[in-house]
Structure 1
């Protein structure tokens, strides 16, 4: 699905550059570019957009003021030559803050950040429908809520689910189990460990701390862990 967007910027050259960048990304549908916030607001009354590229310093009223009048939808990426408004922009839940002049690579990074945010939000919405797992414990199936799992440890043909004060050892494959866990809540840090981010207390280069217990991050998964956490920093 394409992202429907508009551009609001009083500088003709800035609008021209953004139009060019938008046309180079196949999943963006540019609905229009505007030199005035007032004109853009009139357009928005009759059109639904997913994203606005918004300048901050404009003659009629600022992009920050315009953002407040628009509300939380659509998403906004600020484009400005002034770094001092960054804090104000992110307090308004801006997806990104592009400081002029910016190149096409930085533009694409901002778009990808929006897609990542939407992906996580969508995933979280799906996960609300199922927040538990049935685990075979001997001859019984035990209902375990994801929130109660501290971490999961693979032991050859078995998997150990560690909860507060209890654990379950079940005959299953850790790799297969990984596919059934909420991606936004659990992360694999080692060939033998998957941890619940809700219970993560601290992280260093080679270990994580969960409930006063330290678990190793292997060299194989170190980059994966860092890139995953970067999405939330």
Structure 2
């Protein structure tokens, strides 16, 4: 597998160092390098990028701000991020935008390679999930490990600001994963799952009963919000009419 990368850093020496590390890593492809987050954003909007090595403290737009802009785009897959920074206080913020890893400057090639291999494992698992059947699985980041979850066991996903609750069949407590509902919407297969509210994705196989404005998932009733009602009504029309 080859991973398309860009490197973003406004420090020339740091930029060249990371670019050299990318070039010597066989499964990484250096597409472009940028000393401006705004220039990187323009490129990513026009080109496919799988992974960014992204500095945080930059003058025009910080790396954290760029990550949030990319996360908020509609209908576009955002590149995954490995942050590179001299400031360790940003580690928690990095996980809030679903960063794959966090490299604290100065770092050597061994640390860089470890983070890159983590990205490789992530993309390999994503590829396997995208080619799976409806009875396959996904991996969720839970604390400091990836947990395998069978798609058929998911009842619904409940979103909060910085994490999601994944409610499972025959489980009293949901799984807490440090990711966003938008990322879950991209991860879960369309046709098996549907977003019906800004805070909820439901499994269509786990619906107990439905109406024009609510859906009963057994463990709770969920109101279908206005922005998602049209898609939901298209789904239930064959049962109501």
TM-score (norm 1): 0.54
Shift of the 16–199 alpha-carbon distance from structure 1 to 2, 3 Å rule, reads: farther
Work out whether 1:38 is the aligned partner of 2:38.
yes
Distance 2:81 2:42 in 1: 17
Comparing 19-28 with 113-122, which one deviates more in the overlay? 113-122
The structure richer in strand per residue is 1
Distance 1:123 1:21 in 2: 27
Flag structure 2 segments of 5+ consecutive residues without an equivalent: 72-76, 137-146, 151-168, 172-241
Greater gyration radius: 1
SS of 1:110's equivalent? helix
Is the contact between residue 8 and residue 54 of structure 2 (CA under 8 Å) also seen in structure 1?
A: yes
Corresponding residue of 2:121: 116
Comparing 118-127 with 39-48, which one deviates more in the overlay? 118-127
Corresponding residue of 2:100: 95
Deviation digits for residues 186-220 of structure 1, max 9, x if unmatched? 9xxxxxxxxxxx999xxxxxxxxxxxxxxxxxxxx
Shift of the 129–84 alpha-carbon distance from structure 1 to 2, 3 Å rule, reads: same
Flag structure 1 segments of 5+ consecutive residues without an equivalent: 132-182, 187-197, 201-233
Shift of the 127–82 alpha-carbon distance from structure 1 to 2, 3 Å rule, reads: same
Distance 1:45 1:120 in 2: 25
Distance 1:69 1:35 in 2: 18
Is the contact between residue 124 and residue 184 of structure 1 (CA under 8 Å) also seen in structure 2?
A: no
Distance 2:94 2:135 in 1: 35
Shift of the 126–11 alpha-carbon distance from structure 1 to 2, 3 Å rule, reads: same
Deviation digits for residues 159-182 of structure 1, max 9, x if unmatched? xxxxxxxxxxxxxxxxxxxxxxxx
Root mean square deviation of aligned Cα = 2.5
How many equivalent residue pairs?
A: 139
